[in-house]
A and B are shown apart, each in its own frame.
Chain A
Amino acid sequence: MSLMGVFDIAGSGMSAQSLRLNTTASNMANANSAASSAEQTYRARHPVFMPVMNSAMQDAFAEPAHNAASTSVRVAGIVEDARPLQPRYEPGNPMANEEGYVFYPNVDIVEEMTNMISSSRAFQLNVDVMSAARTMMQRVLTLGQG
């Protein structure tokens, strides 16, 4: 029954989007985490999504050819943002180095806000897909019952 595949696909989409929301949350939480050297400073993190062709994982003979376009998503990894950090002259800051500078993370708050909206919308869409598939499946189970 290939409707089962929809649950896996929508579930993979939900977990990928919630991981994206997770990185957004940690980026925003650490947007003002200053450090005294560039190495210790937090850098913005972003997930990298990758398609997974399900036909490679499942038994090709059990369900012939229905997997032609059944593609779930997975997170290939988390990359750190390569943009430069923001050094600020704050001699009064306890984290300041000898020259009086502290380093602030390269988190772009506006970008993180858009990411947050986009990922929560995409998550919602995947939930809708899953509940629609559930309704369809329940209906098919009543086949022939009058």
Chain B
Amino acid sequence: MAINFTNALGVHEHALTLRTQRTTMLASNIANADTPGYKARDMDFGSVLAQATSGRGDVAMQQTHSRHITGMPGLNDASALYRVPSQPSLDGNTVDEQVENAAFARNALEHQASFQFLNGKFTGMIKALKGE
């Protein structure tokens, strides 16, 4: 009975990667809060995660054998959506600092949650391997 990382780690491996990518997107929005014409971007986390866990996606690798790896579909331009502004400004900027700040704080917490789940999986595996 071999240890299968995909089964053992489950969704958390993908979740942590995507949370990290979302951090970059939200940081971009905050850095460009005063840039004229900049459009705030964010991802639809649920659909991107479903895409990542199912191995589908625009950059999925072709599998001609059951033991081929699927590859990790990264974040592509199609999954980086534009935010609908609640108060668009005259210079074309759609960043709402409060919204972005709240989303960033929440994303940081969810990143921590994903990390703790993933860490728990690894700790469990180490415990099983040691057999103490």
Residues of A within 8 A of B (CB): 1-3, 5-6, 9-10, 12-13, 16-17, 20, 48-51, 64-66, 68-73, 118-119, 121-122, 125-126, 128-129, 132-133, 135-136, 139-140, 142-144, 146
CA gap between A137 and B45 in the complex, in Å: 20
Q: Name the contact of A65 in the complex, choosing from B20, B41, B75, B101 (C-beta under 8 A).
A: B75
**B75-89 Cβ-contact flags toward A at 8 Å (1 or 0):** 111011000000000
A13-B30, A65-B76, A71-B31 known; 12 new pairs, CB 8 Å cut-off, are A1-B20, A3-B24, A6-B27, A10-B31, A49-B32, A68-B77, A68-B80, A71-B32, A71-B38, A132-B104, A133-B23, A146-B123
A144: chain B residues within 8 A (beta carbon)? 119, 122-123, 126
CA gap between A125 and B95 in the complex, in Å: 13
CA gap between A142 and B122 in the complex, in Å: 11
Residue of B nearest to A49 (CB): B35
Determine whether B112 belongs to the interface, using a CB cutoff of 8 Å to chain A: yes
**B42-58 Cβ-contact flags toward A at 8 Å (1 or 0):** 01000000000000000
| Cβ A132 vs Cβ B108 within 8 A | yes
| Cβ A69 vs Cβ B123 within 8 A | no
Query: How many B residues touch the partner, as a band?
Result: 35 or more
- List residues of B (81-129) whose CB comes within 8 Å of A's CBs: 97, 101, 104-105, 108, 111-112, 115, 118-119, 122-123, 126
| Cβ B41 vs Cβ A69 within 8 A | yes
B24: chain A residues within 8 A (beta carbon)? 2-3, 5-6, 9, 66, 69-70
Q: Name the contact of A50 in the complex, choosing from B28, B35, B80, B101 (C-beta under 8 A).
A: B35
| Cβ A71 vs Cβ B30 within 8 A | no
Q: Decide yes or no: A73 and B35 within 8 Å by CB, A64-B59, A125-B101, A139-B112 being known contacts.
A: yes
Q: Decide yes or no: A118 and B27 within 8 Å by CB, A65-B76, A68-B76, A129-B104 being known contacts.
A: no
Q: Name the contact of B28 in the complex, choosing from A1, A48, A70, A125 (C-beta under 8 A).
A: A70
Determine whether B70 belongs to the interface, using a CB cutoff of 8 Å to chain A: no
| Cβ B21 vs Cβ A2 within 8 A | yes
B30: chain A residues within 8 A (beta carbon)? 10, 13, 125-126, 129
CB distance from A99 to the nearest CB of B (A): 40
B104: chain A residues within 8 A (beta carbon)? 129, 132
B16: chain A residues within 8 A (beta carbon)? 140
A1: chain B residues within 8 A (beta carbon)? 20
CB distance from A95 to the nearest CB of B (A): 36
CA gap between A64 and B104 in the complex, in Å: 23
Residue of B nearest to A144 (CB): B122
B36: chain A residues within 8 A (beta carbon)? 48-49
